[in-house]
Amino acid sequence: MQKKYKILIDGRALAHQTQSGVEVFTANIVKYLNKISDISIAKPKSKNRYLQHLWEHIRLPFIAKKYDLLYSPANIAPFWTFKNTKLVVTLHDVAYLTHPKTVSKFFYLYYKTVIPLILQRADRIVTISKASKEEIVRHYPFAKEKIDIIYNGILDSFFEKREIKKENIILYVGSLNERKNFSSVIEAFKRLPSEFKYKLVIVGNFSSNFAIRPKNILALQKAKMDENIIFHSNLDLKELQELYLKAKIFIYPSFYEGFGFPLLEAMASKTPVITSNLSSMPEICANAALYVDPNSVEDIAKKLTMLIKDENLQKELAQKGYKRASLFRWEKTAKNYLKLFEKVIEKR
């Protein structure tokens, strides 16, 4: 920016105890914006999720009063601010409307009430894929004229070369949230011929979660009795990156994603990807993935079998995936946000 503007980042998500896509996004957009601009960050002291949201609506507008622009990167922003403060918010998706069972009743009602007010107040809305934009506009038509798409990035460390030998591993990384289609991954794996001698490695948070339905709990309990299914939780970044590199196949047949960080992480690791043909997955992966009908365990098992048998296809998808992932960099994402902030501030 030629002129020095005062920009404040809403750091509520930085105070969260969990690490989902929104928290990963917030940490990285703050990190990379900080590299190219002089920004300030405000975050609540409380570790209580409910008090953090109260802070956002009550205290944050007063903090932001001294700034030219407030940016809220994690779906929720103050539903009011002082007139002199411009507001930009990133709404990653509307999963609470498309898959309401994946959020608690409290947060469903909270999001349904507050998000329309936030979108009306915001000077610009950012989302992370064309698929998400279409879904947001379908539910909130008034947002159509002020919504922009800025794609997420991926950490440079995923592209670093490491000499790690591939193993007979099918990898899944994600929560046990119902929309992630976790139970179908396990069922499809169990249908594979025994002579393949593959392991299914599942990385995620397996603590109690309101988004885990009985179907997933049952699948989890059965899977824990299978010696060919291995569970990991709370891995650090290095451990996760090593697993991506070891895996011969990455599987992610989600029903709904705003973006899907694990897809690009696998691609950057030169691990061939099998994913859903719905939502944002085809947009993000383009021709660099093998697509399945997430509603069909049979199709998932069929595509897994096909990819395991075809080493040439594995190599082709690995090469295409690496090339595709290289288009999504945090430096580029941060620059696009900064351009948008400048545009919003200068439009007085």
The candidate with the shortest Cα–Cα distance to 149, out of 172, 114, 125, 166, is 125
Token pair for 168: 């007979």
pLDDT at 185: 92
Give the tens place of pLDDT for each residue, 108-125. Answer: 999 999 999 999 999 999
The candidate with the shortest Cα–Cα distance to 230, out of 299, 292, 173, is 173
Give the tens place of pLDDT for each residue, 7-55. Answer: 999 989 888 766 677 888 999 999 999 999 889 999 999 888 889 999 9
pLDDT at 1: 45
Domain 156-325 has CATH 3.40.50.2000: yes
Considering the domain 7-153+329-346 in this protein, what is its CATH number?
3.40.50.2000
DSSP letter for each residue of 214-253? HHHHHHHHHHTT-TTEEEE-S--HHHHHHHHHHEEEEEE-
Q: Residues with Cβ < 8 Å from 98, sequence gap 6 or more?
A: 135, 179, 256
Q: Rounded to whole angstroms, what are the CA distances from 103 to 133, 175, 182, 327?
A: 21, 13, 16, 32
For the chain, residues classed under CATH 3.40.50.2000 are: 7-153+329-346, 156-325
pLDDT at 208: 46
pLDDT at 67: 95
For the chain, residues with pLDDT lower than 70 are: 1-3, 17-19, 205-225, 348
pLDDT at 22: 85
